[in-house]
Amino acid sequence: MTAPIAPTREALFRPLEVRGMHLANRLVMSPMTRMGCPGGLPDDVNRDYYADRAAGGTALIVTEGIGVDHPTSVDHSMIPRLDGPESVAAWRVVTDAVHAAGGRILAQLWHVGPLWGANARFDRPDRDRLMQMHPMRPSGRWGTPGVTTYSERSIARWSPEVAPMTEADIAETIAAFARSAALAVRAGFDGVTLHGGHGYLLDSFVWADTNRRTDSWGGDLAARSRYPAAVVAAVREAIGPDTPLFYRFSQHTQQDYTVRKATTPGELGVYLGALADAGVDLFDASTRRFDDPAFPDLEGDDGTVTLAGWARRLTGLPSGAVGGVGIGTSLREQKSGKPTHSADNIDAVVAAMERGEFDLISLGRLHLAEPAIARVLREAGPLPEFVREVHEMPLRQAED
């Protein structure tokens, strides 16, 4: 028998419909790269990893980033891909298991773009050929480094400029997203989400520092938004009118956490409006903390609205938030050696949802610490303790 919902948690357990996809609650398993897919294909370990979280009561599972059907989409042999019949069959096992457990699952489609080389491990027979490929970068630039977790040595290795993307590169990467989106539908996914943040390929066209093109793909923010909008339009055509399409976006990049691609709500509206017109159903706003104000210099209540809140206001579409739920230490602080500690900020999540900041809340590290975190939240129980050294190790080590 299902336990009753604690009075302080009711907002988290209201159903939601997104383009015909029914979600039993507002909880999402956030995408987290685990590097646990041998040869780029999910197996029984991955199946159980995702299905266990669905069985624990989380309504929506979002996969780790899945490389699209392009040779430079991802740069590690243990990162999954969706690029042909074999990958469709492998992912079908995962989606069937999640559905059997009562959940819904989206494929997060990914091309790392300028950040090709950050993982740099290939076990496949074509390793030498792949290592000689140059990354897809709009203007050939890695991006000006700022506040980042990358080492100076890594930045020195990756930052030299390469040839800018050609028109053929642009056309082919757009087509690659569309092909993989169609494969995702064949694999049984309930929808797709595009990784359009963090300095990866889609985001690199939006960021003025990495997009200095003078053709139709560069210029002001409206022009720099044309490439991700073209990808959205191609994916929408590939998946049809009935399949949900989410879009993850961010202000920051991994090259510099202080980057802001939109300095005003009006600029953000230009960017997100183009994506909404192209076919996005929900905007997933990726921030370091879910409740950080997007434009804190604005006066009055506008200065407290989050990035997810502005996406919702500006487009009229539902939005999702992520970042630091149940965790008192940022990911950047953890990587610099600061011990992790929990912080029960669920009441703040509920309050933000009730005042209309966002419709979905994604939990990452809490899902690693406790697959049944949805049940814990439903009953307003104590949050699990996340221990990075135990819970954030590569998937295969964690599950073996």
Q: What are the catalytic residues? A: 200
What is the DSSP-derived secondary structure letter of residue 338? P
Cα 63 to Cα 29, 51, 95, 140, 278, distances in angstroms = 8, 11, 10, 29, 23
Which tokens belong to 275? 């994506």
Cα 81 to the chain's mean position, in Å?
Answer: 15
Which tokens belong to 303? 């200065």
Short-list 112, 261, 286, CA closest to 201: 112
Strands (E), the chain: 16-18, 21-23, 27-29, 60-67, 104-110, 191-195, 245-250, 282-286, 319-322, 360-363
CA pair distance 372, 32, nearest whole angstrom: 17
Q: What is the three-class DSSP state of 56?
A: coil
**Interstrand relation of 21-23 and 16-18 (parallel, antiparallel or unpaired):** antiparallel
Which tokens belong to 62? 């979002």
Alpha helix stretches (DSSP H) within 101-244: 127-131, 152-158, 167-186, 201-206, 221-224, 226-239
